[in-house]
Amino acid sequence: MTDVSPRGGTPAVSRIETRSIDYVPLHERGGKLFDQATIWFAGSAQLLSLATGAIGISMGLNLGWTLIGLALGAALGTIPVSAHATQGPHLGLPQMVQSRPQFGRYGALLIWAMALVVYWGYVVLGGNLLGATAAELNLGTSPPVWAVITCIVALVLAIFGYHWLHIAQRIITVALVIAIVVYLVGLTAGGLVPASAFDLSQTFDPVSFMVVVSASTAYQLTWAFFVSDYSRYMPPTTRKSAIITFTTGGLFFGLFSFMAVGAICAALLPEEGVLAGVAVTGDYVFPGLGAILLVTGGLGLLGLMAMCVYGGSLTLITALDSIRPVRPTRRIRIVTILLVGVTGAIAAAGLPEDFLNTSFAAVLAILGYLMGPWTAVNLTDFFLVRRGRYSVREMFRTDGVYGLWNWRGILAYLISFAVMIPFMYLSFYQGPIAAAMGGFDIAFFVGIPIGGAAYWLLCRNLDLEAELRVIEHADKDLESIGKPVE
């Protein structure tokens, strides 16, 4: 069996991960809980988060109210995302395979299509922003060329896989923490942020505040599609409370810290773009710190892009396997990674340079609307309905107990999305209730609990005892299927 861990002394090709959507056997389970914090800290404390942080300032909120809205939204989004991290150690499977019990083998195809759009979209946005960052740093060559170069680097990292992604994000986290702490302490100690910026008696607008909360919630929720992809090599004995705690720490502090940087830059230099704002305000502390922040934030974004290429590959293989069973070989991993990464690089190079400034908030909201109902159904099934009792083997059977279509999950998703529509507020569509409330967009906070409740009610007559009898026999020799397919 090929070792998938990054130990030295083996040919380079053997260091490429072999596993994709297949079950990770117990003898390959390991890892550190702290890695769940570092992979998400680095994945969240990156350049794209700057744009989310600046939204409140651009809408007229002061820095104090913007930071409160960002913290609230990040916390609300972190709760469900962290809960998904427990599913990886429990099942030893990537996140998207775990949608089959709720939606069915064919029914989950729509969910996987949405997940693929999210992954691919972040690769495109990331490459585009890294190209602009290279231009800000005067690194030479045009932004589209840098967009392609960074996408290729992310693609290579994704090919080597799970363990190397964790190692990269661990190193990047250390650099990010140092840069962020120096920046924030330097600005505060130097009195460079006026106290009036935190005056909560000024510039409060409830509609703008809710936009900030919703945007940061939606942004955090988009990670839910692939959280357990990066915890599935953890042992099944990993305590749920422990992995939730570490994942929460990485997600919340990583996201909030860089959103705060974006908000500070926008407050101090409202006429500048976020990248220029980081460069200039960083140099207020000492010359060169702005460039250091951009580079470290760029590395975090590069790591996130690699994670998205990796997750996109897993989702694509899962979808293909649903249509026609596939052998999860190393070759199919590489082919699907190339497909996601190369097309993402081409799109990133062609995206307008001002895309983040003009369309990012709307993109975040749409992504949140699409995936909020999924997270409600998936978590309700895992924690309240089936309570973690699944058959890995049955998830891969074309005639398995979970079926081709699960009307309960599909209907609950549609109900959840439908009830959100009147509460949506976008530039091109204003729901009647949101419009009546003056632009308040509380779609997530209505749709997610209703989706979860609807699924729970629809499953009240689900014959779980029959499922358990099947599971008892189906997974008796589960470890025997754990040999990697080359």
> Which domains are assigned to the chain?
24-357 (1.10.4160.10)
pLDDT for the residue 3: 40
> Looking at residue 315, what is its pLDDT?
93
Backbone angles phi, psi at 4, to 5 degrees: -95, 0
C-beta of residue 309 within 8 angstroms of C-beta of residue 226? no
Residue 92 in 3-state DSSP?
coil
Q: Residues of 378-410 as b/e, b for ≥16 C-beta within 10 angstroms? A: bbbbbeebbeeebbbbbbbeeebbbbeebebbb
**317: its two tokens:** 């293989």
Q: How far is CA 11 from the centre of its chain?
A: 32
Asked if residue 203 lies in contact with residue 60, where contact means CB atoms within 8 angstroms, the answer is yes
Instruction: List the one residue out of 169, 203, 241 whose CA is nearest residue 62.
Output: 203
DSSP structural state of residue 481: G
Reading the chain (486 residues) residue by residue, the pLDDT tens digits are 334 444 444 555 668 898 999 999 998 998 789 999 999 999 999 999 998 899 899 888 999 999 999 999 999 999 999 999 999 999 999 988 999 999 999 999 988 888 888 899 899 989 989 998 998 898 877 889 999 999 999 999 999 999 999 999 999 999 999 999 999 999 988 889 988 888 888 778 888 898 899 889 988 988 888 899 999 999 999 999 999 999 999 999 999 999 999 999 999 998 888 899 999 999 999 999 999 999 999 999 999 999 999 999 999 999 999 999 998 889 999 999 999 999 999 999 887 766 666 566 677 677 778 888 999 999 999 999 999 999 999 999 988 899 999 999 999 999 999 999 999 988 788 899 989 888 888 888 899 999 999 999 999 999 999 899 998 888 888 887 766 556
The pLDDT of residue 4: 43
- DSSP H/E element including 469: helix 464-474
How far apart (Å, rounded) are the C-alpha atoms in residues 442 and 161?
A: 37
CA distance 260 to 293: 13
The pLDDT value given to residue 360: 66
Structure-token pair, residue 413: 């998703």
Q: CA-to-CA distance for 410 and 357, rounded, in angstroms?
A: 35
| Residue 71 amino acid letter | A
Look at residues 80, 35, 83 and name the one whose alpha carbon lies nearest to residue 368.
80
DSSP count for the chain of H helices, then E strands:
19, 0
239 three-class SS: coil
Q: Which amino acid is at 75?
A: A
Grouping H, G, I as helix, E, B as strand and the rest as coil, residue 430 is strand
Residue 425 DSSP SS3: strand
Cβ partners under 8 Å of residue 453, min gap 6: 380
What are the Cα distances from residue 320, in Å, to 59, 197, 245, 337?
43, 52, 34, 14
- How many whole angstroms separate alpha carbon 317 and alpha carbon 141? 35
Q: What pLDDT, on the 0 to 100 scale, is given for residue 51?
A: 87
The answer to whether 275 touches 143, Cβ cutoff 8 Å, is no
